[in-house]
Chains A and B, each alone.
Chain A
Amino acid sequence: MQGGPENTTTIDERHSSRVTVEINGASRELTLDNRTTLLDALREHLDLTGAKKGCDHGQCGSCTVLLDGRRVKSCLVFAVTVDGRSVVSVEGLAGPDELSPLQAAFIAHDAFQCGYCTPGQLCSARGMLDEVSRGWPSAVTGDLNSPADLTDAEIRERMAGNLCRCAAYPHIVAAVRETAGASGTAATR
Chain B
Amino acid sequence: MSVLNFLADGFSSALQWHNLLFAFIGVLIGTAVGVLPGIGPMSGVALLIPVTATMTGGQDPASAATSAIILLAGVYYGAMYGGSTTSILLNTPGESSSVVTTLDGYQMARQGRAGAALSISAIGSFAAGIFSLLALVLLAEPLSNLAIKFGPAEYFSLMLLGLAAVSGLAGKSMTKALIMTVMGLLLATIGMDNVSGVARFTYDFPILYGGLEFLTIAVGLFALGEVFKTIINREYQAGEIAKVGRVLPTRQDLKASAGPIARGSVLGFFIGVLPGAGATLASFFSYIIEKKISKNPAKFGKGAIEGVAAPESANNAASGGAMVPLLTLGIPGSGTTAILMGALIMYNVQPGPLLFADHPEVAWGLIASMFIGNLMLLILNMPLVKVFAKIIETPPRYLLPIIIAISVFGVYAVQYTTFDLLLLIGCGIAGYFLTKNDYPLAPLVLGLVLGPMIENNMRRALTGSNGDFSVFLAKPLSAAFLLVAVLWLVVPLLLKMRGKKVLVNEEA
A and B form one complex? no
- The residues of B with any CB-CB pair to A shorter than 8 Å are none
- The residues of A with any CB-CB pair to B shorter than 8 Å are none
